[in-house]
Structure 1
Amino acid sequence: MRFRENIKRELKQWSLAGLIVLLSLSATIQWSPARDQPRLVSNPKKEAATQLYQQVREARATWRDFSGFTADVLIQYNGKSTTGKLTADKDFKLNLILEDNSLSEWSLPKLNSVIGHRKFRKQEPIPATFADGEVNHPLGRLVNIDGKNVSFRLQGDVMTEVHRRSDKSWFTISTLDVWRTKENEVLPRATSVIYRDPKSGAITGNRSNTFAFTRIGNFDLPSSMLTVETGENFGRNVGSIKLTNHRLTTPESLSKIDSK
């Protein structure tokens, strides 16, 4: 009997001690339902910057369920001219065949850029922070991306500027005008790229671009690109790419190509 009474007394003591610990914890920890738990971005300004950046990323025109396309190409660069054929497959890999293949070194990277940026990717939110308190800048708010050596200016659903600086390079891309698709998504119409010396900040070059697109099926495919490049020592290059006779790739057209 005495043994049982001792056991009961010890259990009561342990229960009391556990209650004291629980009460102590409840005084320092706020318990709340899962739906009331704080979100990953809890700073209101940080949350607004993250949402603005996400809105801009989702507004960029991308090609979902893209099967590929072909087009005839006319390339002119610094007085030289050539024609050829462009093929873009469903994986956004390009094949450019030109009569004068020497112009592919200039034209293929530009085609890869304008077409490659249309590849659809799921846009998971990326934490961002407003770089300053300036809300009336003509090109929108300046936003820094957490953990990245890059910042953007965002206005509405348009990325108006990209600023990237490192020990080896420094450039700013400004979007001066945009093209709106049928879905009201954003494509660049006019851009300017300024290159600087990463140490002195002196401007070393500028590239001005214009773009045009044509609606084929559910896609706004590139139809023309014009580029004017200036550099040091009076360097200047002018080139254009025109695409016509666009045709979307279908299983039927692929079988015809394979049979040739």
Structure 2
Amino acid sequence: MPFRQRITRELKQWGLAGLIVLLALSATMEWTPAREQESTDSQQEKAAATKMYQKVREARATWRDFPGFTADVTVCYNGKCTTGKLVADNQFKIKLTLQDESLSEWSLPKLQSVIGHRKYRQQKPIPATFADQEVDHPLGRLVNIDGKNVSFRLQGDVMTEVHRRSDKSWFTISTLDVLRTKENETLPQVTSVTYRNPQTGEILSNRSNTFAFTRVGKFDLPTTMLTVECGEKFERNVGSIKLTNHRLLTDSALSQTN
């Protein structure tokens, strides 16, 4: 008898009994999804984390078409004060001239940071994932950035924390309060920075900061920065920077300052 006819006859003989056996076997088999394919839930959560991170980045106050500005500066650090002049050009390069240049080492990096972070950059979406399922944390969801040793806590449109850790450094920046611009963008008002030993996790120092800004034209320029720094061996340093007489630079004014 030909092979095909023999198979057909045997299937007919098995009939319903064969079907029952096949169903029973399939019920006991464990289904394993393909390793290369993420679950639908994972894909949806990754998309949600990426969207949340993008929303926060776009909500940060930045200065588009920035012409630069000048301001008078008063710097005080541990009871020692001096005055001078600040020039920030349209490329966000900072020039600080103080009567007592010894205070530049402390004040210049702070001015470069608060002004440099206002530089506008096109915010293309960056892939992100939720680090855990804790949805009720006081500072918001913890989000990891793919391929980077950095995590963020996000709450609404505010980046409440930055966590960076490597073999050489470990620090956390916590934003405890923000200011809102006329455009409803966010500026830091109260922050805390904690530095840790990257091997042991021991706290090395903490820096508390407050900031204030003033509206000049369409830009919210810094006016005051107050910092309290505490170290592991009873060190404590207090410093402030005050900016007054802000003036936006025109092309002619910029060439004169250069």
The TM tier, using the shorter chain, reads 0.7 to 0.9
In the alignment, the residues of structure 2 paired with residue 241 and residue 176 of structure 1 have an alpha-carbon distance, to the nearest angstrom, of: 20
Q: Match of 2:167, as an amino acid?
A: D
> C-alpha displacement at 1:253, in angstroms?
2.6
Q: Match of 1:215, as an amino acid?
A: R
Deviations 1:39-70 (A, max 9, x none): xxx81100000000000000000000001000
Which residue of 2 is the match for residue 60 of structure 1? Answer: 60
Identity of aligned residues (%): 76
| Aligned ranges 1:1-260 → 2 under 5 Å | 43-254=43-254, 257=257
Which residue of 1 is the match for residue 20 of structure 2? Answer: none
Check the 8 A contact 2:190/2:210 in 1, yes or no. yes
Deviations 1:85-117 (A, max 9, x none): 000000000100000000000000000000000
The structure-2 alpha-carbon separation of the partners of 1:132 and 1:80, relative to structure 1 and needing over 3 Å to count, comes to same
SS at match of 2:73: strand
The Cα RMSD (Å) is 1.3
Check the 8 A contact 2:89/2:254 in 1, yes or no. no
In the alignment, the residues of structure 1 paired with residue 118 and residue 137 of structure 2 have an alpha-carbon distance, to the nearest angstrom, of: 28
> C-alpha displacement at 1:233, in angstroms?
1.1
The structure-2 alpha-carbon separation of the partners of 1:256 and 1:173, relative to structure 1 and needing over 3 Å to count, comes to closer
Instruction: Give the number of equivalent residue pairs.
Output: 218
> C-alpha displacement at 1:214, in angstroms?
0.3
> C-alpha displacement at 1:251, in angstroms?
2.6
In the alignment, the residues of structure 2 paired with residue 185 and residue 255 of structure 1 have an alpha-carbon distance, to the nearest angstrom, of: 31
> C-alpha displacement at 1:256, in angstroms?
5.2
Deviations 1:97-142 (A, max 9, x none): 0000000000000000000000000011000000000111110000
Could you list the runs of 5+ residues in structure 2 that have no partner in the other structure? 1-41
In the alignment, the residues of structure 2 paired with residue 257 and residue 188 of structure 1 have an alpha-carbon distance, to the nearest angstrom, of: 29
Runs of 4+ more than 6 Å apart: none
> C-alpha displacement at 1:252, in angstroms?
4.0
Q: Match of 1:66, as an amino acid?
A: F
In the alignment, the residues of structure 1 paired with residue 240 and residue 52 of structure 2 have an alpha-carbon distance, to the nearest angstrom, of: 34
SS at match of 2:62: coil
Could you list the runs of 5+ residues in structure 1 that have no partner in the other structure? 1-41
In the alignment, the residues of structure 2 paired with residue 52 and residue 241 of structure 1 have an alpha-carbon distance, to the nearest angstrom, of: 34
Check the 8 A contact 2:84/2:98 in 1, yes or no. yes
Q: Match of 1:70, as an amino acid?
A: T
> C-alpha displacement at 1:171, in angstroms?
0.8
